[in-house]
Amino acid sequence: MVTLSSNLLPTDDGQAPMDPFSAAQRVDDAQARRQGIGFVDGTSPGYVVLLGDDAARAPGLVTSLAERQMVVFVAEDALVEPLRQAGIPLGWDTRVVPLDMIRALGFVLRIAQVFGGAADSPAVLQYARERLRGFTVLLGEPSPERLTLAQSALPLGCPLLSTADLPPSVEGWSMEGLEGRAAIGGVGASEIVQTGIEERGLRVHVALPELPVEYGSDFAGEVVRDAGADLYGVELTMVGEEVVDGRVRLIGPDLEAGLTYRHPYGLLVEVSGHAMQPDFESVLERQIETLLNDLHGVMHRGQRANAHLRISREAVERGFRLRHLGQLLHARFHNEFGSVVSRVQITVLTDPAEVEKLAARAQAVYERRDRRLAGLTDETVDTFYTCTLCQSIAAGHLCVISPEHPGVCGAQDWMDTRAAVSLRPVGPNRAVEKQGLLDARLGQWESINRVVQQESGGTRNAYSLYSLLDEPGSSCGDFECITAMLPSTGGVMVVDNTFAETTPSGMDWGMLYETVGGGLPAPGFLGHSKRLLHSGKFISAEGGWRRIVWMNHSLREEMRPELERLAAAEGLEGFVDKIATEQEALSEDAVLSYMEAAGHPALGMDPMM
């Protein structure tokens, strides 16, 4: 027999009211506002009505719910005393409230009346379903009395989740005005909370983990020079199929082993959620840098297969370990992207063989993402996007992203930024309609320049998408390649960050990086992604890819298929082999000699300046 608590909100005759709307009228407005504000402002993501007789499982379940700031209405006396004995304090202060089912539902309805401003029953129920989200949990025997009580919560949008199997007639319940299942039986006790959160689409706040180092935006952009760990590798965020929320795994040695000098590193973030889409993967992936750079003593640069993570010696000595990265990302992903993410699982890899496996898997994913833009051109869309994500490490820097002009990092393209705006309308990405064409050759529009001036803090008045010389884009520090003029050749060189020697410009990668990596444009120099070399719009204002006269050999061979595709479309067969590398030339004069011998097309082009 179900015994209902009547120690809170009793009726005049001491009996439990059987109509939630009747119970709602017995809650005064002040109490509804005081206890209900947490539902409205997001402090409490939702509520649970707890039924059943499984006293052994109740404390663990309530603790799990309390950690997620959920309000728990304990609706049976059989569960109240076991919770007290387990040391769980009861009352509104702890959000664990002994209150029978009808009074609990009445309380929720009163909150809907007070905050929703609705008087009639349908409007009140609609507000409760959409804004005051909850579910019923049944631990133990699904008796007819308990099932009747659980059914009374369906109009408020509360599905029933039971650890025991439910009769077919109950599994067939439905909730008016809501999609999803109304009753789910046989849910494991360890999964029941997460299942309820996902069924109701609750956005749960996760407390930041205890860390041995400070964490905050004041540390964004910090440069770590005394490295206790120096990791290079690959990062991938994917929609996972079997994601255990909060699981953090390390495969390989940890920081105390001394992971210095380009030690292999991999980070796999697996997420899931009802609203999660593959288009959001790269958006979340690009956030890794921003979230980790707020750690004191941690410097993150790069993305995709070009990620660089440097951790200070002091942080390692203070006890910072790789698991802390995963714990932090788990909390921040929930708190920043809880509208689409309900489970986050992190795997950190420092075993070289495992990193190599992840890199191969990631490359296939990157290629799939990049193919989404096939056939799109800048002329066929009406909207471009800005990205200010890297202003924490390069003040004033921003990217303007179009179908043929990806972000400097290469991890944000037009599809990604469009998805980012749909995910976070107010954030580091902004949609800008193309208006007021100023110069088609340079790629300048009035509307773009106006937004660039605003988002650069007034440091820039114009932005050319297609030029190396006239108002070129700026670079942060996450670029993969640098293009620079070689004036005497009438062309440009392109070098990537794997090349350690001095280039024909007389500068090595470090010197070139200092020239272009400060967030301000440097005419004649451009930091960019490898993906920009796929585009027919690459420095097209100066003649485009035909101007490439030197590349480091590994980059040239990596880019050969794309450059040959572009050249073949213009009838320039054999173009790639006319580009000198360090194997043929390491000075401008030597490059010019190679060009003359190979018959490079840049020799017949107009001067760049």
Ramachandran category for residue 524: left, alpha or beta (phi over 0 → left; psi -120 to 50 → alpha)? left
- Identify the band that residue 288 occupies on the pLDDT scale cut at 50, 70 and 90: very high
Sequence-distant (6+) residues with CB within 8 A of 482 are: 494, 495, 496, 509, 512, 513, 516, 525, 526, 527, 528
Q: Report pLDDT digits (tens) over 506-543.
A: 999 999 999 987 788 899 999 999 999 999 999 999 99
As assigned by CATH, the class of the 217-372 domain is: alpha beta
Q: Report pLDDT digits (tens) over 364-422.
A: 999 999 888 888 999 999 999 999 988 877 888 999 999 999 999 888 899 999 999 98
DSSP 205-270: --PPPP-SS-BSGGGTTPPP-SEEEEEEEEEEEEE-SS--TT-EEEES--GGGT--SSEEEEEEEE
Assigned CATH topology for domain 378-604: 3.40.1470
Whether residue 14 is predicted with pLDDT greater than 60 in this model: the reply is no
Whether residue 10 is predicted with pLDDT greater than 50 in this model: the reply is no
Whether residue 575 is predicted with pLDDT greater than 90 in this model: the reply is yes
**May I ask the CATH architecture of the domain 20-200?**
3-Layer(aba) Sandwich (3.40)
Q: Report pLDDT digits (tens) over 73-89.
A: 999 989 999 999 999 99
Q: Can you give the pLDDT at residue 176? A: 74
Whether residue 476 is predicted with pLDDT greater than 80 in this model: the reply is yes
- Identify the band that residue 18 occupies on the pLDDT scale cut at 50, 70 and 90: low
User: What are the Cα distances from residue 545, in Å, to 306, 377, 537, 564?
Assistant: 23, 17, 8, 11
d(CA 300, CA 235): 11
Give me the mean pLDDT over the 452-459 stretch.
91
Task: Name the DSSP class of 379.
Answer: G
Whether residue 579 is predicted with pLDDT greater than 80 in this model: the reply is yes
Could you tell me the residue ranges of all domains in the chain?
20-200, 217-372, 378-604
List the one residue out of 417, 426, 349, 350 whose CA is nearest residue 386. Answer: 417
Give me the mean pLDDT over the 324-329 stretch.
97
* pTM for the whole structure: 0.78
Give me the mean pLDDT over the 30-52 stretch.
88
Whether residue 7 is predicted with pLDDT greater than 70 in this model: the reply is no
Give me the mean pLDDT over the 110-131 stretch.
86
Give me the mean pLDDT over the 171-179 stretch.
78
The chain-wide mean pLDDT, for the chain, equals 90
Q: Report pLDDT digits (tens) over 201-257.
A: 888 888 899 999 999 988 988 899 999 999 999 999 999 988 999 999 999 999 998
d(CA 65, CA 95): 9
Residue 601 contacts residue 575 (beta carbons within 8 Å): yes
Q: Can you give the pLDDT at residue 464? A: 96
